Amino acid sequence: MFEDSYLINLRNTKKDDIDFICDLESDIENSQFIIPWSKVKHLNSLTDDNLLHLIIEDKNNNTRVGYIILAGLRNPNQSLELMRITIGSKGKGYGNEALKIIKDWTFNKFKANRLWLDVKINNARAMHLYKKQGFTVEGTLRECLKNKNGYESLHIMSILKREYID
């Protein structure tokens, strides 16, 4: 289903992966940049035919290192949303490699025209990665998220099939 990688494997998320995912989301390095889902919401997403919920595993030892959620599998406009990519062990190339595989699958196998995401504007690490992977900032949803300190903004970013192919 997915392109082979020297570093990671992607596989469908199973029920027994949900505690790992919830722990990853609650980690302080991740929770400030995402809107964590409940265990029930993750479990329900596993049977939603509009979502693809994936585990990222280190290929050398098969340990779980992160997860990905894609939405829009039934979108008639051929536009997929990268709802979430969360990596536990940062700086090892897992996110970079996972995005390469997801882009290949999105454009070459799924035949989508657009892959998009939103990212908190203070998430410099993710912004750097997405730009490196060819995503373009389309706009900003200003102060659209309320938190305990006030409001946060999101950048909307995308990459089109023709940009990926070039």
CATH numbers and ranges of domains, the chain: 8-165 (3.40.630.30)
Q: What is the pLDDT of residue 73?
A: 98
d(CA 166, CA 164): 6
Q: What number is the average pLDDT over the span 6-22?
A: 97
pLDDT on residue 1 = 83
How is 46-109 classified by DSSP, letter by letter?
A: TT-TTEEEEEEEETTT--EEEEEEEE-TT-TT-EEEEEEEEESSTTSSHHHHHHHHHHHIIIII
- Let me know the angle formed at the C-alpha of 23 by 17 and 24, rounded to the nearest 5 degrees: 90
What is the average pLDDT score of the chain?
Answer: 96
Q: Which amino acid is at 88?
A: G
What is the structure's pLDDT at 129? 96
Tell me the three state secondary structure of residue 37.
Answer: coil
**pTM summary value:** 0.94
Q: Tokens 């200003």 label which residue?
A: 142
Q: Each residue of 109-146: pLDDT tens digit? A: 999 999 999 999 999 999 999 999 999 999 999 999 99
In the DSSP assignment, the letter for residue 15 is: G
Averaged pLDDT, 13-22? 98
Share above pLDDT 70 across residues of the chain, in percent, rounded to a whole number: 100
Q: Is the confidence at residue 166, as pLDDT, over 80?
A: no
